[in-house]
Amino acid sequence: MTDIPKLTETVFDVEVLQSNLPVVVDFTAAWCGPCKMLDPVVSQLSQDWAGKVKFVKLDVDDNSDIAIKYGVMGVPTLILFVHGNPVQRLSGYQPKERIISKFSSFL
């Protein structure tokens, strides 16, 4: 299983907004059951899309300013950023096929 880096607010701009690759930000929380269910799906996608998409995690409890900025009301929420802009989002647990169908047109 791939270890997906956990971001903090201090590196968010550099890692996400200034990235040359599209970035999927997994907004998550330590106490969140559906987040844990989503982890293996996100890990699998990060392997499937290696070199094409960057995957990062952001704990909403530790980084609430960013969660608020992007309107994340619940976790898990996946937001796809392309050239620093949020272009697509999914909230709640999602099967891999649904994530692919929602995000692949932007990749």
Q: Which of 25, 32, 41, 58 is catalytic?
A: 32
**What's the CA gap between 63 and 100, in Å, rounded?**
26
Is 99 noted as a catalytic residue in this protein? no
Decide the pairing of beta strands 85-91 and 77-82.
antiparallel
Q: Which of 16, 35, 42, 75 is catalytic?
A: 35
Is 31 noted as a catalytic residue in this protein? no
Quick one: 103 exposed, middle or buried, by C-beta within 10 A (0-12, 13-18, 19+)?
A: buried
Residue 65: CB atoms within 10 A of its CB come to 9
What is the set of active-site residues?
32, 35
